[in-house]
Amino acid sequence: MKVSVIGTGYVGLVTGACLAEVGNDVLCMDVDEAKVAALGRGEVPIYEPGLEELVRGNLDAGRLAFTADMARCVAHGLFQFIAVGTPPDEDGSADLRHVLDVARGIGRHMADYRVLIDKSTVPVGTADRVASAVGEELAQRGTAAEFDVVSNPEFLKEGAAVEDFMRPDRVILGCDRDRPTGLLRDLYAPFNRSHERVLTMDVRSAEMTKYAANAMLATKISFMNEIANLCERVGADVEMVRQGVGSDPRIGFAFIYPGAGFGGSCFPKDIAALRGTAREHGYPARILEAVEAVNREQKRVPEEKIVARFGEDLTGRTFALWGLAFKPGTDDMREAPSRTLMESLWARGARVRAFDPEAMEECRRIYGERADLVLVDGPYQALDGADALVLMTEWKPFRSPDFARIAESLSDPVVFDGRNIFDPDYLAENGLTCIGIGRPAPTTGAE
């Protein structure tokens, strides 16, 4: 099938590459001509495991191409995937300017039937606005070309997006007519072989499903962080509590790991947008407000623990930082807890020596060159001259380091574990004090 994807960001690029991988003829469009040229050479601007190989392989096979020409893009595909950004507006609601610009562009150029697919995360009612924008352009041209607008939200996890697309838990199709439903079932058939994964529903329910799913996951994280903070105050160990709670099959273990808060491009933005929708309809979304508030405060917990150890004034102190990305498997630092920590340490006069397996260039792009930030080539180089180590991203190479080397390198042998990946008692046996989230002080060792 011929497929067009408008927007070559995270969602658009994964969508285009994966659809090409199963044999479709895919054309991806972006307004950034330099980016289009780089993608045409197989240069992928984001880190996502397996994506670069997928893009290069399908470029070489002739199934994937890139363009900055909107007319060419609209003429190419029966399916027009809209995968552009929906950044938060000043009030937190989703900014739909890019989505509606794409809709108008399709309306200006389409000559026959097209299926427009909202892949971007958009508020309930967006499909109606997209249809109106296309209809207005067609009316101005005096063209009666038919089209349908479908909601097909993405459920891709950064760090596992290719796997999620190729082996989806579910494929949500929000359609109000049978024709696009049948066409999209055919398009998604290669991903639906072992058992039925396609769920069809009305457009507005599909739009809401995406927001509800992300809000539920974010709620689980904030809830467990709230429990962790309470555990510290009553002398309980949140890791024991997590195992006891997760053993209940009605709850499960997913997304109940306490830590330094969530970040990224999805959860913070989507919760704010869903709150905006509630506000527009006069509904006070109290749980969503609490999820945001808890997460905002949780990002400050590592700083609070550092201040409790070293005092309010951190002038002259140096902290080794392991992990900059908001989660493992990505170079994305949007809303990352590491940013909250670094900026607060700098405000208190401290210096940071940081390492991340993938997010170093992104950190340079965000902060540039500054005297109080040194980006090093490896985790142990970050320890040179450091008073303490702070772990903020649970990358696999950080899980079993040389603890004796860490203890020898730090002027104060303490590790602030922002993701609870270390056993405080084991670190104590190796001469380190481990200060985690919601965990009691070690019973032996350095202290």
- Cα 304 to Cα 314: distance, rounded to the nearest angstrom: 12
Active-site position among 18, 28, 175, 266: 266
The DSSP 8-state label assigned to residue 1 in this structure reads -
Hey, what are 280's tokens? 């527009």
| Nearest CA-CA partner of 162 in 1, 53, 9, 29 | 53
End-to-end CA distance of the chain: 65
The DSSP 8-state label assigned to residue 208 in this structure reads H
Residue 266 is among the residues annotated as catalytic for this protein: yes
Within 8 A by CB and 6+ apart from 380, the residues are 402, 405, 409
| Nearest CA-CA partner of 147 in 114, 100, 195, 196 | 114
- Cα 127 to Cα 177: distance, rounded to the nearest angstrom: 13
Q: Where are the alpha helices (DSSP H) in 41-175?
A: 51-61, 70-76, 97-109, 126-141, 161-166
| Nearest CA-CA partner of 261 in 338, 155, 159 | 338
| Nearest CA-CA partner of 242 in 79, 251, 337, 149 | 251
The DSSP 8-state label assigned to residue 190 in this structure reads G
Residue 339 contacts residue 345 (beta carbons within 8 Å): no
Residue 221 contacts residue 262 (beta carbons within 8 Å): yes
- Cα 195 to Cα 197: distance, rounded to the nearest angstrom: 6
The DSSP 8-state label assigned to residue 156 in this structure reads P
Phi and psi dihedrals of 154, rounded to 5? -90, 150
| Nearest CA-CA partner of 381 in 353, 407, 361, 402 | 353
- Cα 396 to Cα 12: distance, rounded to the nearest angstrom: 28
At which residue do the structure tokens 């080539």 appear?
377
Q: How many helices (H) and strands (E) does the chain have?
A: 17, 14
The catalytic residues are 266
